[in-house]
Amino acid sequence: MESISVDVLVLGWGKAGKTLAGALGRQGQHVALVERSPQMYGGTCINVACVPTKALIHRAEERRGTDDPADYFATSVVARDTLIAQLNARNHAMLAEVDTVTLIDGQARFVAPDQVEVSAGADRLLVRADTVVVNTGTVPAPPQFEGAADSTRVYDSTTLQHVEPLPRRLVVVGAGYVGLEFASMFAHFGSSVHVVDHNESLLPREDRDVAEAVRRLLEEQGVEFHLGQTVQSVLDHDGAEQGPGTVVTISGSPDLGTRTLRADAVLVATGRVPATPDLDLARAGVTTDARGFIEVDEHLRTATPTVFAVGDVNGGPQFTYVSLDDHRIVLDQLVGSGGRTTKDRVAVPTTTFLSPPLARVGISETEARELEIDVLVAVKDVAGIAAMPRPKIVGETHGLIKVIVDAETDLILGATLFCIDAQEVVNLIALAMRTGTTASRLRDGIWTHPSTTEALNEVLASLRPLAPGA
């Protein structure tokens, strides 16, 4: 077996791993990066998740009523694939151009804390490294209902992006953020969409006014919800009378009983699991939690100090920008002062790309009540915000804006933005929270016009004490 020795070995092309490999390589360290699939050069985000799905969402929003749904979807997938091929190639080139970085295709498995065997067919390569960084990410959780393994019509969030043809009827299992993004997307493409979720209410972690606003929007787009219910089975049929498809059996409480839904495709969006089973982590002394995620400390070190775990595989928030921050922490450990930790993260925003987007940062009104914090709350429907004409200009007035402010200090504790440009404005609010910028300063800020940001002038002027109630 051939062998090589490097300073740092990175397993997986995710955001943290590729950025870390490039940064260390440009500093002269010898780095090897292993990826088991050439289709994943650059990581999950650019190849199968954030970028391609948002490209499809954008295309879906652009569809006109005169566009044939199936043809439009097919051309949208071609456009998606063209973009992703370019990004995949560019990501590979960015590291291939660094002389001290060695790129290796194959499946990695530990044989010792500092040794990893990489296999590609009959070929074997032993890589010895002073430091190993595990960056293998996650994969969609497999379906747990009867008939899923035998069905040709059950998809995950990766495979559904290439479904052929566009399903006339789509059942989405799971009303989390991924499930709702795909539900909204396919509704815009022209599918009839049903969403099944075991929770009795939509988005249980959101305030009820926010969740209800989301539900109203999606129902207006044609999405039908089956809450408090679970999928029991799927059964494909040749459809002599109604055409080929699958029958989805769902059940809930005794009042809801059991019913069936007919579908051309079923999306299982019930979470993701760590991509670790093939790594032989025990040989490296690396431990995992009950779900299989690698356990790390605040510096992202595993139980073996020379092995780090970054990105989704370490069980932290599954966002590419958190993975990017993971790379900063490990880089600081290896070539910096070693002071940066996960505890430094404050006001990390999130966005669900509905149409319009739903963005959040900090605590909600519900959480403020639970914490018994003395707060002020401002909430306004987007359609009623006079100082923000941009939604009316572009014809998208759905949603609301809600801000939670500490009554004593005037500091922003949280915000929910369900509106056009929410994914941008939430970053401004997050920055204000990190820097101690008060709500009053945002309220009195001078913003460009017409913009979504200027909604802060009017919304923050309506701050009121938290009303009594649950």
Q: What is the mean pLDDT of the chain?
A: 96
Query: Token pair 């499946």 is at which residue?
Result: 107
Q: Please choose, from the candidates 195, 354, 217, the residue with its C-alpha nearest in 3D space to the C-alpha of residue 266.
A: 195
- Average pLDDT estimate for 372-394: 97
- Residue 297: which H helix or E strand, with range? none
For position 417, what pLDDT does the model report? 98
Distance CA 39, CA 47 (A): 7
Q: Please choose, from the candidates 184, 172, 174, 185, the residue with its C-alpha nearest in 3D space to the C-alpha of residue 217.
A: 184
Instruction: Name the β-bridge partners of 115.
Output: 112, 128
- Average pLDDT estimate for 331-347: 97
How many beta carbons lie within 10 A of that of residue 80, not counting itself? 20
Q: Flag the least confident range among 169-183, 232-246, 280-294, 353-367.
A: 232-246
For position 30, what pLDDT does the model report? 98
| Share of the chain residues as helix, strand and coil, in percent rounded to the nearest 5 | 35, 30, 35
Local structure of 46: helix, strand or coil = helix
How do residues 23-46 score in pLDDT, each as one tens digit?
999 999 999 999 999 999 999 999
Distance CA 75, CA 79 (A): 6
- Average pLDDT estimate for 399-420: 98
The share of the chain scoring above pLDDT 90, in percent, equals: 96
pLDDT confidence band for 47 (50 / 70 / 90): very high
Local structure of 8: helix, strand or coil = strand
Q: Please choose, from the candidates 170, 165, 167, 225, the residue with its C-alpha nearest in 3D space to the C-alpha of residue 200.
A: 225
Of 30, 198, 299, 449, the catalytic one is: 449
Across 262-293, b (16+ Cβ under 10 Å) vs e yields bbbbbbbbbebebbbeebebeebebebeeeeb
The share of the chain scoring above pLDDT 70, in percent, equals: 99
Structural contact between residues 231 and 145, judged by C-beta atoms closer than 8 angstroms:
yes
For position 255, what pLDDT does the model report? 80
For position 241, what pLDDT does the model report? 65
Structural contact between residues 131 and 34, judged by C-beta atoms closer than 8 angstroms:
no
- Average pLDDT estimate for 114-129: 97
Residue 256 has pLDDT above 90, yes or no: no
Local structure of 127: helix, strand or coil = strand
Ordered by where they begin, the domains of the chain are: 2-139+272-344 (3.50.50.60), 154-268 (3.50.50.60), 350-463 (3.30.390.30)
For position 197, what pLDDT does the model report? 98
Distance CA 461, CA 344 (A): 31
Question: What pTM does this model have?
Answer: 0.96
Residue 242 has pLDDT above 90, yes or no: no
How do residues 179-216 score in pLDDT, each as one tens digit?
999 999 999 999 999 999 999 999 999 999 999 999 99
For position 223, what pLDDT does the model report? 98
Q: Is 449 a catalytic residue?
A: yes
Across 367-397, b (16+ Cβ under 10 Å) vs e yields ebbeeeeebbbbbbebeebeebebbeeeebb
Determine whether 103 is exposed, middle or buried from the number of CB atoms within 10 Å of its CB (0-12, 13-18, 19+): middle
Q: Is the dihedral angle over the CA atoms 165, 267, 141, 360 positive or is it negative?
A: positive
Q: Flag the least confident range among 240-254, 340-354, 392-406.
A: 240-254
For position 277, what pLDDT does the model report? 94
Instruction: Name the β-bridge partners of 102.
Output: 32
- List Cβ neighbours of 361 (8 Å cut-off, separation of 6 or more): 347, 348, 349, 350, 414, 415, 426, 429, 430, 433
Distance CA 403, CA 417 (A): 8
Query: Token pair 């199936």 is at which residue?
Result: 70
How many beta carbons lie within 10 A of that of residue 344, not counting itself? 11
For position 243, what pLDDT does the model report? 76
Determine whether 331 is exposed, middle or buried from the number of CB atoms within 10 Å of its CB (0-12, 13-18, 19+): middle
For position 179, what pLDDT does the model report? 98
For position 177, what pLDDT does the model report? 93
For position 18, what pLDDT does the model report? 98
pLDDT confidence band for 350 (50 / 70 / 90): very high
- Average pLDDT estimate for 424-443: 98
pLDDT confidence band for 324 (50 / 70 / 90): very high
